[in-house]
Amino acid sequence: MSDMPEEQHDPAQDEAAAERPLFAAPPIGEQERMVEAILFASAEPVTVAELAARMPHGCDPAEALVHLQKRYQGRGVQLLRVGDAWALRTAPDLGFLMSQERVETRKLSRAAIETLAIIAYHQPVTRAEIEEIRGVAVSRGTIDQLIELEWIRFGRRRMTPGRPVTYLVTREFLDHFGLESARDLPGLAELRAAGLLDNRPPPGDGPALGDTSGEDDDPDAQPPRGQNELFDD
């Protein structure tokens, strides 16, 4: 009876068998769908390591990303690399479709309304004169806000010590309130009739509110007095 050679056992084969997954990895096309679903549902870019942790064992998310990026070329949505992560983003040339214009109503403060009214009725008027009429200081922010709205502008400087700048209302201000000129601003009687003023006589004997006669002829004339009741604190 002849001796049969004994079969040699290779330990390396045991290690390979132990590392072999119990289930085969999904096809690359299915892996692309998995990557696409994860990226679509994520608000933040996702790294390859994070994709691998979510996908079945044996998947290659890096390879799936390469295929997926080619598939999205020329589409409205593109697969972009953001640092060491990946994200689905709108194509740059279509970004204008995502913008939305909205009109936001900005409410003026009481200080801004009073300052604007003083400038409208007493123009050209300096900041010191505005403060004298209001009885309180005018903050730089109030003036800046009205200039930003393009409702007031700088006028000529006064030929007085310090050469203070004056302020005037703009064409945009007149257009916004439907006025042809500052002379069309309502007077004291109209404001009282509308219930915007107390029914009391104006202090002093100064010109009536809205009387701007002579402004254009003498822009350096002192602003009329007697309108403090409009702007009491």
Instruction: Decide if 85 contacts 120 (C-beta within 8 A).
Output: no
Strand pairing report for 152-154 and 166-169: antiparallel
pTM confidence score: 0.42
Q: Strand, helix or coil at 150?
A: coil
pLDDT computed for residue 12 by the predictor: 57
**Confidence tier at 231 by pLDDT (50, 70, 90):** very low
Instruction: Decide if 68 contacts 79 (C-beta within 8 A).
Output: yes
CA 127 to chain centroid? 30
Lowest-confidence pick of 11-25, 169-183, 213-227: 213-227
CA distance 145 to 185: 22
Burial class (CB in 10 A: 0-12, 13-18, 19+), 114: buried
Q: Looking at per-residue confidence, does 106 or 135 come out higher?
A: 135
CA distance 176 to 185: 13
- Residue ranges of domains in the chain, CATH in brackets: 25-92 (1.10.10.10), 110-231 (1.10.10.10)
Residue range 52-100, pLDDT digits in tens? 999 998 999 999 999 999 999 999 999 998 888 999 999 989 988 888 7
Element (H, E) at 86: strand 85-90
pLDDT computed for residue 73 by the predictor: 92
Instruction: Decide if 143 contacts 150 (C-beta within 8 A).
Output: no
Residues 6+ apart with CB under 8 A from 134: 114, 115, 118, 231, 233
Q: What is the mean pLDDT of residues 22-46?
A: 90
pLDDT computed for residue 204 by the predictor: 38
CA distance 207 to 60: 86
Residue range 115-145, pLDDT digits in tens? 888 888 888 999 999 999 888 888 888 898 8
**Confidence tier at 104 by pLDDT (50, 70, 90):** confident
pLDDT computed for residue 8 by the predictor: 60
pLDDT computed for residue 223 by the predictor: 40
Residue of 193, 197, 175 whose CA lies nearest to 184 = 175
